[in-house]
Every structure is written in C-alpha cells, then in structure tokens.
C-alpha cells in the first residue's frame, strides 16, 4: 500500500480538523480542567463526535459501523492530539471495540458493538496491575464455577473507568500454566457485585481508575476469546491501542511544532526575530525531521492493522517508541523556545506536555517498546 492518504481519508481528516477546531479547541479542554469536571470529557461533545460517526470508525457495517478502518480512526486521533480534545475514543472506540472484534465472538459483537456505534455504550480496558506496563504480569485470578467464573484481583490505570458500562479485564485461571503466560480476557459489566472503582484525576485531567474485583461472578458468555489463550489476544488489543496513542502523540508534536515555528518568526529580541538565530533554526529543523519520521511510522502502522499484517507488533512498538520520543522532544523544545511564557498555566503548552507524558506512560513507554522492538527482531 502506498504511504499516501486516499481521498476518503483526506476528507475524514479535514472534517475532523474542522470539527475539532470549531467545537473542541484547546479552550474547551481548559474549561473542563478549570471546572474540575468529574469524568475527564464532555458528554455533550462526545454525543457530537458520535454524530460524526467517530465512535464506530473501525466497526463493520453489519453492526452499524462506518468501517473506515484503523487508518481512519488514527487520523481522527492525530487531530485530537492537535486540539487536545478529550473523549472516550481510545478507551471505547479503539481498545474496547478492538477487543470485541479480535475475540471474534459473534454473539458478543452483536450485543455490544451497536451500542458503541450509537454512543449508548462506553467500554474500557483494565489490564495493568503494576505502575510499569507489564501486560503478562497478571495476578488476578478467575476460578471456574457454576458455568462461569469467580474473579478476584486488582487493576490499575483504567482509562475512563467512571463512565464505562463494562470493563474488559485480563485474568489467569488456576489450572493455566503461569510460565507460558496463558491468560483469559473477560468482559465485566459495571455494577456487577464485588466490583469497586476508585477514580483519580491525573496530570492531563483524564481519570485513570483503579479497579478491585472481590468475588466477582461472570458467566461463560462473558469470556472473550478462548480460555487460557488470551495473551495473544491481549497483545493484539494493546498493539491497536499503542498505535492509536502514537497517532495522538504525533498530533501533539505537530501542534507544538507549528506553534513554536510561528513564535520564532514573531518574537523579537535584540531587534530581530529569534527565528533568525542559527542555534534555534537548527533545533527547529531537527524537530521537523523527527516529525516527518513519526508521520511515516504512524501511517504504515495504521495501514498494517487494516491489512492484517504480521508486522503489526513490531510496527506498534516502533510507533509507540518513536512518537513518544518525538513528542517528548517537541513538547520540551516548544516550552524552551517560548521562554518564560511557555511555563505559564495561562499559555497552552503545558497542556500538551502533560498529555504527552500521560500517553507516554500508558501501554508501555519508549524504553519498554525499544526493548520489545529488539526482541521482536530477534536480538
């Protein structure tokens, strides 16, 4: 596939850009933050995004979706990175929908996906159990019982947990051989007895929740995919999330870079625009290149998902690592080149670096993914 967007994709991206700039610019996020909102996004804005079809971009038409593929959703997430528009797109429409689609259970898809498309249903994923991303390290246990499972354990870093209608969790069944990493995934509806949620606002004003499962009972029908074969499914879901987050980080880097280049042309010191100084020109030119590299990586990774390529894992780690590092550089350089004003809360740049930090830390940071990249390539 060529590394150029097709007409449909260009239209989707431009429509997303127009919508976000008019309905959810950075000032929208600032208002939520100032009002200490309870959930991390605006339900009104989400309803409008659903209206645009964004909740269902990757979902096939048979379930009421748009079926534009991951490339389409990635482009929207990239635009959301530029405007810092908060929504449950990653938790529900990317991670949740991917888990259902990849598990391949027709009944579950029919039960949940139409609700995601219409905006009635929000999902989220609860995988990690330690502060550092270690998806195979699962102490949550699911014991088979009465045609179902009794689950005990605890989860961390659950995005948009407060609004979720169901949680997709990873757990280990006692008979599974722990050494080969076999896991199972379960869908636990919110409100199930024994499910306790604790919501904490984090630095980017999103809510990352912790989840406790105490003797939670779910039926067989709530297991996603094969029993004890969940690690592969889990990694596939995570890879889609990682690539989506990479796309959002790319958007963050692009916006910081754009604002910084504009500032370099505007801001005068010693009687000249500071952008005429070679020290700053070279740093800006270097950053330009890092963003170009990240654009290629994100596009190829998104295309790989749509093509069902066996390169998805290596490209996911490549994208998450490269975009994490690029957005780190872009956000830090934008503050430095803006000088003191870049440090003020009144100015927007702080929002970008906080959001980058949050995305960087979720689903594995750059170092985690460089390690995985090396392992996947056999060294």
DSSP 311-337: THHHHHHHHHHHHHHHHHHHHHHHHHH
Q: Is the CB of 344 or the CB of 375 nearer to other proteins?
A: 375
Smallest distance from other proteins to CB 300, Å: 5
Reduce the DSSP state of residue 102 to 3 states and report it: helix
Provide the angle, in degrees to the nearest 10, between the axes of the packed helices 26-34 and 349-361.
Answer: 80
Q: Does residue 2 bind other proteins (CB under 8 A)?
A: yes
Question: CA 218 to CA 229: how far, in whole Å?
Answer: 18
Q: Which is nearer to other proteins, 251 or 275 (CB)?
A: 275
Best CA proximity match to 256, nearest among 320, 173, 347: 347
Smallest separation (angstroms) from other proteins to the CB of 155: 29
Map residue 153 onto helix, strand or coil: strand
Site for other proteins in 3-32 (CB under 8 A): 3-4
| Closer of 99 and 298 to other proteins (Cβ) | 298
CA distance 101 to 118: 17
Answer yes or no whether residue 322 interacts with other proteins by CB under 8 A: yes
**Is 221 a binder of other proteins (CB under 8 A)?**
no
By beta-carbon proximity to other proteins, the closer residue of 222 and 322 is 322
Least distance in angstroms from the C-beta of 56 to other proteins: 28
**Neighbour count for residue 341 (Cβ, 10 Å):** 12
Nearer Cβ to other proteins (130/276) = 276
Q: Is 70 in the site for other proteins (CB under 8 A)?
A: no
Residues 290-319 that bind other proteins (CB under 8 A): 292-297, 299-300, 318
DSSP-derived secondary structure letter, 174? T
Residue 134 in contact with other proteins, rule: CB under 8 A? no
Q: How far is the CB of 228 from other proteins (least distance, A)?
A: 23
Q: Which of 107, 131, 340, 378 binds other proteins (CB under 8 A)?
A: 378
Return the residues of window 250-279 that contact other proteins according to CB under 8 A.
261, 264-265, 272-273, 275-276, 278
Rounded to 10 degrees, what is the CA torsion of 236, 237, 241, 247? 40
Q: What is the DSSP letter of 24?
A: S
Per CB under 8 A, 282 contacts other proteins = yes
Q: Which stretch binds other proteins (CB under 8 A): 78-86, 165-173, 217-225, 368-376?
A: 368-376
Among 286, 339, 341, 343, binds other proteins (CB under 8 A): 286
Number of residues in contact with other proteins under rule CB under 8 A: 38
* Nearest to 33, CA basis, from 84, 81, 79: 84
Q: How many beta carbons lie within 10 A of that of residue 319, not counting itself? A: 30
SS3 52: coil
Nearest to other proteins of 196, 282 (CB atom) = 282
Cβ atoms 123, 97 nearer than 8 A? yes
**Which C-beta is closer to other proteins: that of 2 or that of 179?**
2
> Rounded to whole angstroms, how far apart are CA atoms 68 and 307?
12
Separation of alpha carbons 299 and 59, rounded Å? 19
Nearest Cα residue to 59 out of 17, 18, 119: 119
Q: Least separation, in Å, of the C-beta of 368 and other proteins? A: 11
Beta bridge partners of 213: 153, 195
**Residue 132 within binding range of other proteins, rule CB under 8 A:** no
Under the rule (CB under 8 A), what is the footprint of other proteins?
A: 2-4, 261, 264-265, 272-273, 275-276, 278, 281-282, 284-286, 288-289, 292-297, 299-300, 318, 321-322, 367, 370-371, 373-375, 377-379
């Amino acid at each position: 596939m060529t590394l150029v967007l097709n007409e449909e994709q260009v239209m989707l991206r431009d429509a997303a850009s127009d919508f976000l700039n008019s309905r959810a610019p950075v000032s929208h996020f600032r208002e939520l933050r100032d009002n200490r909102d309870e959930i991390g996004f605006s339900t009104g804005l989400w309803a409008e995004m659903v209206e645009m079809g964004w909740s269902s971009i990757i979902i096939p038409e048979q379930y009421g979706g748009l079926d534009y593929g991951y490339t389409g959703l990635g482009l929207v997430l990239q635009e959301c990175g530029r405007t810092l528009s908060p929504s449950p797109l990653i938790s529900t429409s990317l991670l949740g929908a991917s888990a259902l689609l990849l598990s391949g259970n027709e009944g579950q898809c029919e039960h949940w996906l139409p609700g995601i498309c219409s905006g009635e249903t929000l999902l989220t994923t609860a995988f990690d159990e330690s502060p550092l991303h270690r998806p195979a390290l699962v102490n949550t246990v699911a014991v088979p019982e009465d045609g179902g499972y009794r689950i005990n354990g605890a989860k961390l870093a659950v995005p948009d947990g407060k609004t979720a209608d169901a949680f997709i969790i990873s757990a280990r069944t006692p008979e599974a051989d722990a050494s080969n990493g076999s896991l199972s995934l379960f869908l636990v509806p919110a409100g199930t007895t024994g499910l306790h949620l604790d919501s904490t606002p984090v630095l980017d004003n999103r809510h990352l929740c912790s989840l406790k499962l105490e003797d939670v009972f779910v039926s067989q029908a709530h297991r996603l995919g094969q029993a004890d074969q969940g690690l592969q499914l889990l990694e596939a879901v995570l890879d889609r999330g990682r690539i989506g987050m990479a796309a959002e980080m790319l958007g963050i880097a692009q916006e910081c870079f754009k604002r910084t280049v504009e500032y370099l042309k505007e801001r005068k010191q010693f009687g000249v625009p500071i952008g005429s100084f070679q020290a700053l020109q070279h740093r800006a030119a270097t950053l330009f290149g890092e963003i170009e590299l990240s654009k290629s990586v994100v596009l190829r990774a998104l295309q790989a998902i749509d093509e069902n390529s066996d390169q998805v894992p290596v490209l996911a780690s490549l994208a998450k690592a490269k975009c994490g590092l690029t957005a780190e550089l872009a956000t830090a350089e934008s503050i430095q080149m803006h000088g003191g004003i870049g440090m003020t809360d009144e100015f927007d740049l702080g929002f970008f670096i906080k959001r980058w930090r949050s995305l960087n830390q979720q689903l594995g940071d750059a170092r985690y993914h460089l390690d995985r990249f090396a392992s996947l390539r056999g060294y």
